[in-house]
Structure 1
Amino acid sequence: MGRTRSSADLDKVLTDLPALVDGAQNHAHAVGTPEAWAWVVEAYSTVYWLAARHRWMTLADLAVTKQKVAAQQSDPVTAALAARDEAGIYLNHGEFEDGLAVVDRAITEAEQNSTGLGRSYALGILHLRGLTLAGRLQDKQTADQHIDRAWAVADDFGEDVERCGIQFGPENTAVHVIATSGDLRRHGDAISTMEDLMRDGVSLPATRTSPLHMNTARSRLALGDRDGALEDLEKAWALAPQMAKVHPTSQEVLRVLTSAHKRSNPRLVKLAKKAHIQF
């Protein structure tokens, strides 16, 4: 399932999820180990991820509730993963301050209960969620605090690592900083961070690189570079077409581009047809 999720094959994830959830739960109830319950958290994290992509909010809420129960029987890092997704629910509903409160509590628990690289990973993914929430809230001070702390923790990793389909390290930190720079209207910073990231090379899966290009497309559009925005949007679609079709940033940029063009653009028409947007 991790490979399918990383490739952003939403249809395949949807097909495979019922068996994954059922198998993980049955195994956890049979053996009762923290590792087994971590697999349940991972299964419901995938449910949350898929539901959030499609904005199936009732299902996303249910998945996070199931995660929280399973995480109580697992380990501190898994608990941080569940808290990250819980904060994501508040992000999806636009309740950014409540989401930040969840992140703050989870950071305190991770600092107290985890050690080593597990602690760094747990804190890292929580700070990434925190900077995203603060950026949406337009709280620059809090966003910058989470950005600084995420970069600091990322130094503990030579390359990005993954747990339960969630990456953390220097690359995914850059991806999140680029998105939040756009939210804070620091579009020049978003582009320069992207250029630094691409210069060093990217190993992240399509679930992360496709949104990366969506967000740089948004920043290029804000800076008046419509051709650059279209090029980045094409990259996002090439990497993960199913995700690009349902992602709000992709839809937003594409709608602005189609409304701004006064004459036919074959490349733009092609994307608009894929997204079912009237040109």
Structure 2
Amino acid sequence: MSATQVPGPGANVAARRKDLGLSQVALARRAGVSVSLLSKIEVGDRALSQGVGASLAQAMNLALDELLGSSPEKDLGDLNWAIRRFDIPGDPPEHPENLQQEVDELNRLRWSTELSKVLLRAPSLLTRVTNHAHLSGEPKAWTLVADVYGVVYWLAARHRWMHLAELATMKQRVAASRADPIAAIVAARDEAGTFLNSGDFEGGLAVVDRAVVQTESILTGRDRAYGLGILHLRGLTLAGRLKDKRTTSRHTAAAWRAAAEFSEDIAEHGIHFGAENTATHVISTASDMEQHHRATDAAENLLRGGMSLPATRVGPVYMNLGRSQLALGNLEGALESLENAWKAAPEMAAVHPTSLELARVLVSRHKRSNERLTKLVKRAGIAI
């Protein structure tokens, strides 16, 4: 069931439960949540968090992305063709010297959350960087291949097209095995992301822990700090979804130590890292762990100071601020945060489960018509 066909991912819970012939009492017992919480999620009085969503999905023998709902698939024919021909060398690109610049431009589109443009450009670029890597055999060329697959993973994960996300990370790992050492660490971070998006948080933590050991053994200097930093950010997110305070604290402290190695946030291999990006993950995880005052205080401090990060990070900060404001009963603040998320990253907001849940619950809890909210839900394609 598509998330755009019902008013927010939380409404999928009721639909799936009824399809399986389960009562609220039976599902709540299986998932280890209260009947009261389940009822509030289904009617739109409480937002569905991904931690609770994972428990409910497991209780219904579903992956998390199946419960949340995915965006309708667009024409993926060209992209699937490019991925399928990973091991079949084709004609070399006319200007291989320009490939790095094109990959950088693809990442700029990613950072500005222009999802449709990323999908349009990725197939051709993926074909050309792959053909060039087969021809040259150089680790640097295979690093470009791994980097483009990282963008494909990101695109698929944003839409919750998990079959494509998992296929992309498989190819990313193969390319990374032929590339510069840092590429393998980025690939492991993305692989852990497929576990995150599917609701297998413990499995994702295992991937992160293995990659941390690998990073400590093969990388040095700046690459080591960067690699450890992006892995620990993934780790704190996974642990936060499990509400594992000890593991969350361990990854958070390690991420801050790595961030201290950089005077400002950097962007490499399509991924930002530094103090600001660490703060955005801490905010999200505080919200996941229902530390809502901590999340709102941290988000407001970060936004007040001004962010140098791109829309891919600014949009989620507003979404996470909004869900904590909603949990604290600040409906007006949550609506303003949702509006700001749409301003910062409209294509991401249109498909992101947190954005969709905020809209769903705000619609349910507003007792009278709100022109601003109506405008947002219409943009999101949500039926009200």
TM-score, length-normalised on structure 2?
0.72
Q: Aligned residue for 1:57? A: 162
Question: If you compute each CA radius of gyration, which structure gives the higher value, 1 or 2?
Answer: 2
2:261 paired residue among 156, 180, 187: 156
C-alpha distance in 2, partners of 1:189/1:45? 32
One-letter identity of the residue aligned with 1:142: T
Counterpart check, 1:37 vs 2:174: no
Where does 1:224-243 land on structure 2 (aligned, <5 Å)? 224-243=329-348
Give 3-state SS (helix, strand or coil) of 1:258's partner: helix
- Pairing of 1:33-182 with structure 2 (within 5 A): 33-182=138-287
| Distance apart, 1:16 and its partner CA | 0.4
Count of residue pairs brought into register by the alignment: 279
Q: Over aligned residue pairs, what C-alpha RMSD do you find?
A: 0.9
From 321, 325, 328, the counterpart of 1:223: 328
Tell me the amino acid that sits aligned with residue 247 of structure 1.
Answer: H
Residue identity matched to 1:257 = L
Q: Aligned residue for 1:16?
A: 121
Instruction: Tell me: higher relative CO, structure 1 or 2? Use CA pairs within 8 A at least 6 residues apart.
Output: 2
Aligned CA distance change for structure 1 residues 199 and 262 (closer, same or farther; 3 Å):
closer
TM-score by length of 1: 0.98
* Structure-1 separation of matches of 2:305 and 2:342: 22
1:267 aligned onto 2:343:
no
Shift, 1:14, TM fit: 0.5
How far apart, CA to CA, are the structure 2 residues paired with 1:155 and 1:200? 18
* CA shift for structure 1 position 20: 1.3
In structure 1, what residue type is equivalent to 2:208?
V
1:148-200, Cα deviation, whole Å (9 max, x unpaired): 11011101111111112110000100111110101000111111211222233
Matched residues in 2 for 1:232 and 1:158: separation?
29
Instruction: Write out the 4+ residue segments of structure 1 that deviate beyond 6 Å after TM superposition.
Output: none
Question: Which structure features the higher share of helix residues?
Answer: 1
> What is the SS of the residue equivalent to 1:212?
helix
Instruction: Give the distance between the partners of 2:246 and 2:286, measured in 1 at CA.
Output: 13
Whole-Å Cα distance in 2 between the matches of residues 265 and 278 of structure 1? 15
Distance 1:156 1:191 in 2: 27
* Identical pairs, percent: 57
The gaps in structure 2 that reach 5 residues or longer are: 1-105
Letter in 2 for 1:198: L
Residue 201 of structure 1, CA deviation: 1.9
2:192 partner letter: A
The alpha-carbon deviation at position 260 of structure 1 amounts to 0.2
Structure 1 residue 137, shift from structure 2 partner: 1.3
SS at match of 2:248: helix
Task: Out of 194-203 and 9-18, give the one that drifted further.
Answer: 194-203
Letter in 1 for 2:338: L
